[in-house]
Amino acid sequence: HGRLATTDFLLPGERAEAPKGPSLGRRAGLLGAGLLGAAVLQPPSSVLALTSEELHAAALFLKAAPGVIGITDASLTKQVSSRAADRAAEHPAVTGSGFVWDGSHIVTNYHVVDDMKSPQVVFITKDASGEDKHSSFAATIVGADPLSDIAVLEVSGDSLILAGLMVPLGRGVSETLLPGQAVFALGNPFGLEHSMSRGVISGLSRTMQSGVPGRPIRGVIQTDASINPGNSGGPLLDSDGNVIGLNSAILSSTGTFSGIGLAIPIDTVKRNVGSMISNGFVSRSSLGVVLAPEYLTEVLGVKNGAMVMKVFPGSPAQQAGVQAMRRGHIGDVIVGMAGKPVTSTSDVFNILETSAPGDDLPLQIRRVSADADNDEFEVVSVTVRLGASNSKLVMT
């Protein structure tokens, strides 16, 4: 093959000479249209232009990125090289994500900050030369809820500086979400700060395990937008740039993204964050009992229902006469609540989630006979006035 010539650039008014040798079509056939086009022909402006869809995604990123921050443990630092400036800058390595909630609070995942000794938030802005500038501030955990995997941080620092950095993101509504609608996940996967991936809502009302055994998180959003380690705590946005979910987990056999990401719905986030900012914890309705794990109920031959393993002294359950496991007897088995059947502990949690402290909740209980020689059960109806538990003392 002949040697490819570099592209000639013409001044205005000059005319190009007709090409010598084989025709353009012939040369394309000999050399390969893609290679020749790259070397000889200037791409048309329409090829360089972004589509309206791409422009929208780019604008969404530029608008939302200032409200997405990195979270790290200030006690763990390492030297990080700035490739663009070819220099080194000392700042903690970002290990998680979060987003600005209001003028002083950051929202992230419980599991992101659970083991941190000195939480620190990192803002990324541009300096006068256009290079990334990292601004780090100490943060205090004002609320951390393992049952919903949500935590709230309060940022400390110069109020005038923070006023320019704390850019709250808009909040959407998760109740009206539909499978198939576009979503955007922002965060710091593998420490790659201010990354964005795009996908769709793959499913709704999913369930994932919380930080408390036997207490699942419900109503979770499933997405195929790429989520990887470091994305946790970052926002999941709709096409308007509003937060509709809190990126929390993936389903994977390798530890990296395989097409299934999970996010806590914003409706849950709004409710629990408000409670944590006001009270320092999430207040939930409570019976004041510990339910037996399912493996234990299976061993004891308990079918259908949730068995009470422990009753807290002075709790609503104790005041209503609910009985726990005791030597020689299994505990009361809850088989109905609020007129709904209970077949497992999950049913109890579901009903409590829709109830409020102070509600009078009717229970149907299957109780072993008081006669030690009688293996029969009796069904007892009691009414429990629900108390309140919080994320500092997890109980049912």
Annotated active-site residue 111? The verdict is: yes
Q: How far is CA 16 from the centre of its chain?
A: 58
Count of CB atoms situated within 10 Å of the CB of 128: 6
Q: Which of 145, 149, 224, 347 is catalytic?
A: 149
Cα–Cα dist 379/396, whole Å = 22
* Residue 91: partners with Cβ closer than 8 Å, 6 or more residues away: 77, 80, 122, 134, 136
Q: Are 363 and 337 in contact (CB under 8 A)?
A: yes
* Nearest by Cα to 262 from 204, 211, 197: 204
Give the tokens for residue 166. 């704390």
Contact predicate 181/245, CB 8 Å: no
Annotated catalytic residue 149: yes
Q: What does the alpha-carbon distance between residue 62 and residue 54 come to, in Å, rounded to a whole number?
A: 12
Judge whether 384 and 317 are in contact, CB under 8 Å: yes
Catalytic residue among 195, 232, 275, 315: 232
> Cα separation of 49 and 250, whole Å?
35
* Widest pairwise Cα distance in the chain: 110
Which residues lie closer than 8 Å to 385 by C-beta, 6 or more apart? 316, 319, 320, 358, 359, 360, 361
Angle between helix axes 33-40 and 24-31 (nearest 10 degrees) is 120
| Dist. CA 276–CA 108, nearest whole Å | 13
- Measured CA to CA, the distance from residue 271 to residue 354 in angstroms comes to 13
Q: Which of 111, 136, 174, 347 is catalytic?
A: 111
Q: Are 345 and 294 in contact (CB under 8 A)?
A: yes
Q: Give the residue numbers marked as catalytic.
A: 111, 149, 232
